[in-house]
């Protein structure tokens, strides 16, 4: 124990009127302490804002923590590549400790693949799990298994109140859908025609996409001029080839606004003729390279940044705080809704401070 740390424990003991040994038992969770003494010690800790040397403690314990991450296969998908970068960043944040993250990846449009990956992760008996619950029913079954095993887990990207895990980290999908509607509605003429466009997921089993659309439609229900025409289009097939449908949509003179519920706004925006007098207004998600390029060209009007890298990073941080620092984990960590236009885009691209997150005291 360092001289500074010992000094802090002596001060806690003096304020609380107990012995140093009693304080040590509380800090290291060794042996029993009377409720009265515990209350006095906790008050003294708060009074002097005492911070234990967790790094030194971890080195003494020499405990290896193994976490499992259940996420979609990132091959060729820039959004999920950002997720993997977030895990790498988290490991760098916690490089003073012995932490590993094992990946269990599944095909984005396959419930069977998701169930297999989740089952393999549980069988490996990690200390904790981070998961994006992509499929609603299959995720419910997974959470039930975790509960029976006493397995701590953190969800991110898709909020499910039924999850009951340690924490959810990500954006409020319903609220982001309302923001998207507000952005599209600005400058729109009465009786405008809008499309909600979903890509590559089974809609009825994709909670986050349904929440986004519900939020989008809820905005117009509250509008005093509820005269917008809204249609939903779902593009989901094994080949992921939608060129025919997208070209027809992009050339339509009857569509005024498009809300793309995933990070794939570039799929439709790349086909838009930005030189047309009447152009389709597009709102999508995430600062992916393809979306950034098309925003700079004027084909995408707004992006709502879900910050996938930070979602993944903070998910691992939540487990690390829980296991290593013995901190209480915040159950709901909703990110602020970040609206990106071509006018503030450079402030995000040239400054990464919005990604920073101090995780170790």
CATH number at residue 230: 3.40.50.2300
Alpha-carbon span 139 to 156, nearest angstrom: 12
Residues 6+ apart with CB under 8 A from 274: 297, 298, 299
Query: Are 137 and 256 found together in one domain?
Result: no
Residues 6+ apart with CB under 8 A from 166: 128, 152, 153, 154, 318, 319, 322, 329, 331
Determine, yes or no, domain membership for 242.
yes
Query: Are 298 and 312 found together in one domain?
Result: no
Determine, yes or no, domain membership for 358.
no
Query: Are 182 and 329 found together in one domain?
Result: no
Annotate 123-169 with three-state secondary structure. Answer: HCCCCEEEECCCCHHHHHHHHHHHHHHCCCEEEECCCCHHHCCCEEE
The residue among 284, 331, 326 whose CA lies nearest residue 78 is 284
Residues linked to residue 131 through DSSP beta bridges, in sequence order:
70, 155
Coil, helix or strand at residue 182: helix
Residue 104 burial by Cβ neighbours in a 10 Å radius (0-12, 13-18, 19+) = buried
Instruction: Measure the CA angle with vertex 133, ends 132 and 138; round to 5°.
Output: 150
Tens of pLDDT along the chain (361 residues)? 444 445 677 888 889 898 877 887 777 666 677 888 888 888 888 888 776 665 555 554 557 899 999 999 988 788 999 999 999 999 988 887 889 999 999 998 889 999 999 999 999 999 999 999 989 999 999 999 999 999 999 999 999 999 989 999 999 999 999 999 999 988 787 788 999 998 866 666 678 888 999 999 999 888 665 677 889 888 876 656 777 888 888 777 788 899 999 999 999 998 876 666 557 899 999 999 999 999 999 999 999 999 999 999 999 999 999 998 888 899 999 999 999 999 999 888 876 544 444 443 3
Counted residue by residue, the chain has a size of: 361
CB atoms within 10 A of CB 45: 21
Annotate 59-74 with three-state secondary structure. Answer: HHHCCEEEEEEEEECC
Are the beta carbons of 309 and 85 closer than 8 angstroms? yes
In total, how many domains does the chain have? 3
Determine, yes or no, domain membership for 354.
no
Whole-model pTM? 0.78
Question: Residue 20 is part of which domain span?
Answer: 3-52
DSSP letter (8 states) at residue 110:
-
Determine, yes or no, domain membership for 14.
yes
Are the beta carbons of 71 and 118 closer than 8 angstroms? no
């Amino acid at each position: 124990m360092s001289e500074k740390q010992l000094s802090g424990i002596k001060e806690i003991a003096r304020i609380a009127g107990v012995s140093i040994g009693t304080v040590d038992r509380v800090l290291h969770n060794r042996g029993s302490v009377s409720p009265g003494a515990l209350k006095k010690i906790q008050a003294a800790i708060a009074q002097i804002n005492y911070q234990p040397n967790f790094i030194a403690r971890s080195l003494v314990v020499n405990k290896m923590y193994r976490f499992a991450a259940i996420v979609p296969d990132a091959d060729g998908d820039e959004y999920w590549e950002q997720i993997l970068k977030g895990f790498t960043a988290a490991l760098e944040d916690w490089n003073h400790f012995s932490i590993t993250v094992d990946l269990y990846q599944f095909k984005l449009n396959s419930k069977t693949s998701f169930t297999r990956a989740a089952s393999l992760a549980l069988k490996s008996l990690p200390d904790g799990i981070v998961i994006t619950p992509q499929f609603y029913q299959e995720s419910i079954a997974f959470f039930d298994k975790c509960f029976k095993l006493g397995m701590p887990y953190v969800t991110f990207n898709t909020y499910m109140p039924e999850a009951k895990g340690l924490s959810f980290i990500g954006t409020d999908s319903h609220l982001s859908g309302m923001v998207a509607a507000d952005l599209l509605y600005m400058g729109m003429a009465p009786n405008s025609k809008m499309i909600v466009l979903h890509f590559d997921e089974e809609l009825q089993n994709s909670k986050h996409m349904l929440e986004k659309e519900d939020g989008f439609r809820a905005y117009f229900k509250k509008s005093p001029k509820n005269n917008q025409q809204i249609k939903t289009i779902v593009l989901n097939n094994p080949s992921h080839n939608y060129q025919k449908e997208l070209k027809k949509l992009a050339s339509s003179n009857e569509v005024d606004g498009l809300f793309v519920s995933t990070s794939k706004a570039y799929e439709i925006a790349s086909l838009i003729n930005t030189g047309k007098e009447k152009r389709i207004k597009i709102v999508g998600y995430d600062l992916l390279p393809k979306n950034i390029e098309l925003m700079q060209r004027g084909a995408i009007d707004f992006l709502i940044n879900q910050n996938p890298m930070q979602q993944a990073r903070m998910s691992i941080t939540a487990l690390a705080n829980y296991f290593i620092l013995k901190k209480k984990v915040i159950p709901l960590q909703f990110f602020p809704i970040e609206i990106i236009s071509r006018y503030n885009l450079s402030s995000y691209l040239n400054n990464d401070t919005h990604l920073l997150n101090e995780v170790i005291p």
